[in-house]
Amino acid sequence: MKILFSSLLRIGDLITHWRLIQQYRIDHPSVEVHLLVNDTSESFAKYLLQKREIAGYFIVPRDRWQTYLIEPGRPPMRTFFEFQELVATLAAVRFDKVYELSHSLFAARLLDALPIASKIGVRYENGRAAGLLNRWSELLNEDYSERASVAFHSLHVLAKSLDLVVPVLAEPRQSDDRFRDLILLQISTSDTKKQWSMPRWVDLTKRLRQEYPTLRIQILAAPGEAHALRKSLLQVSSNFSFAEVPVVEAGWSKLDEMFQETRLLISLDTSVLHFAAALRVPTLSFFIGSANPQKTAPYQNEALILSGRVSCSPCRHRDPCHQPQHLCAEALDLREIVTATRSLLDGQVAAQSGQWRVGQSQRRALIYKVTTQEESMEKVSSALAQMTWQIYLDGADQEVAAPVGSGAHTFLDEHASGLFAAGGLSWLKERLDASEADSLFLEEVQSRAVRAGSRLVVDDSSQADEFEKKTQDLKRSLNEYLARQSTGDRECRDFFFQLRSALSSHFLGFVKLRRVTQAADEARRLLFLEQKFVRTLINEITERGPGYVAGFGKTSHDRSATT
């Protein structure tokens, strides 16, 4: 059986997608996997072919096609002929199935032109949108990139949207392994918004030399990039010692070798970071500009991420930085980085406020931010929100017996000690009260929206204007309510996101009414699920009584072994 995976985004995305492909190969060992990638990602496809991870790959010369289509003096017709050739080549292979991982309009259109019987993923079919399999794919399609509150890694959402198994989170190697004596720094990225300033990198390098004199420190450069990088470093520090901290050019195979000796990679949000995470190298990363830890953190347990604590961060990928200075990059403090490095290399220091952590829940990524509260509370709160979303997005809330009970057992198995540290029953009761208050408020918003919408009449613009005013009032009320209720865990369980977005949307009249109603319905279902879930947790703990509390932190396997 021949399967084609289409990954037509950037190289970092392809590396993340590779995890999904690896998982697919584990589940389907007899299949022959091929890749369809952009020319910019060819180097990584070659690496995968050398490692026999794939049977072959095909290239879409996207960048060149774009140039030929847009620029005067270029031959646009050639793109058409090359496209036809590509389709014919793919047709000759006779693929049984194609999975579309890119989720872009170009990729969706391309899938329409491919003569493959079974196509999975959002795509066009004879010019019409198709392939929305479930709520996950709707989430991915509509607003995942904007929806800050859904605590799922992009890979998780993508896998679920394609009905594939979510890859197991990579476990890092032991960072204190004495046989590994190399600290690698990936200090450049092609995206200027994600850069950290060169003088700060130089300071960090010097600091690391002082702190870890027995370890080797090297700066990574892409093939052909080392000269320019050395020049930039010398511009900042004319006495920079390349003997002590060499700049090393490395392609994917060489990186693979170097990672065998690496104890820690410190990196910006780059393809090298995701590669290291996949190869189980412990990572510390700086997410600056549009880099969003909640969506694209390294898919690795215990990865540590630092991001600038400024209100505009993360910004939209396509927008330029609007600030007079690169605030989110400047907000990264050298001392904080050194402390984080110590915690990873020596295991000395606990997580600091403002750090993002990658943990796991049900062996899947759970990305949470450490604020002023205890880390355990952050983690347990995020896990609870994730569990609620998971049940909703799986569509299990529509089943007669939603898997709340089994979910509660799993949750207690994994997070009992965190829950206990966060306050146990009293914390859960507070959470339930907050959720019920949200439901009451939501009912009021819903009835006000329906009342306002009932006066809408087709072709009556004055009524549409009146409705628009009322939705603006509702938006204000909602924002005021959320501001009043603002707590640390609100951030990770913002079930009102869709409603806020619908109330702010540019749609008018009936269309807006429909969107607001749908969004309110989603919030209602999520709150209902959350309450049901928290009540089950409370009952579980109460019924089992002190005996259960004494067993906090043990897994059900441990418990069954002792009983």
**Which residue matches tokens 């010369």?**
61
Binding site for another protein (CB under 8 A): 62, 64-67, 69-80, 83-84, 87, 104-106, 109-110, 112-113, 124, 126-127
Nearer to another protein, 83 or 510 (CB): 83
Nearer to another protein, 127 or 547 (CB): 127
Q: Name the phi and psi angles at 126, rounded to 5.
A: 50, 45
**Which residue matches tokens 């009293």?**
426
Closest C-alpha to 304, from 347, 272, 275, 248: 347
Q: Cβ atoms within 10 A of the Cβ of 109, count?
A: 12
Nearer to another protein, 45 or 187 (CB): 45
Nearer to another protein, 106 or 528 (CB): 106
CB 270, CB 192: distance < 8 Å: no
SS3 (DSSP) at 33: strand
- Tell me the C-alpha distance between 433 and 422, whole Å: 16
Residue 128 CB, shortest distance to another protein, in Å, is: 10
Nearer to another protein, 39 or 333 (CB): 39
SS (H, E, C) 151-202: CCCHHHHHHHHCCCCCCCCECCCCCCCCCCCEEEEECCCCCHHHCCCHHHHH
ω into residue 314 within 30 of 0, thus cis?
A: yes
Q: Name the phi and psi angles at 390, rounded to 5.
A: -60, -45
Residue 110 CB, shortest distance to another protein, in Å, is: 5
Residue 129 CB, shortest distance to another protein, in Å, is: 12
Residue 66 CB, shortest distance to another protein, in Å, is: 5
Residue 524 CB, shortest distance to another protein, in Å, is: 37
Residue 517 CB, shortest distance to another protein, in Å, is: 32
Nearer to another protein, 107 or 541 (CB): 107
Nearer to another protein, 77 or 92 (CB): 77
Pairing of strands 364-369, 355-361: antiparallel
Residue 275 CB, shortest distance to another protein, in Å, is: 24
- Tell me the C-alpha distance between 408 and 364, whole Å: 16
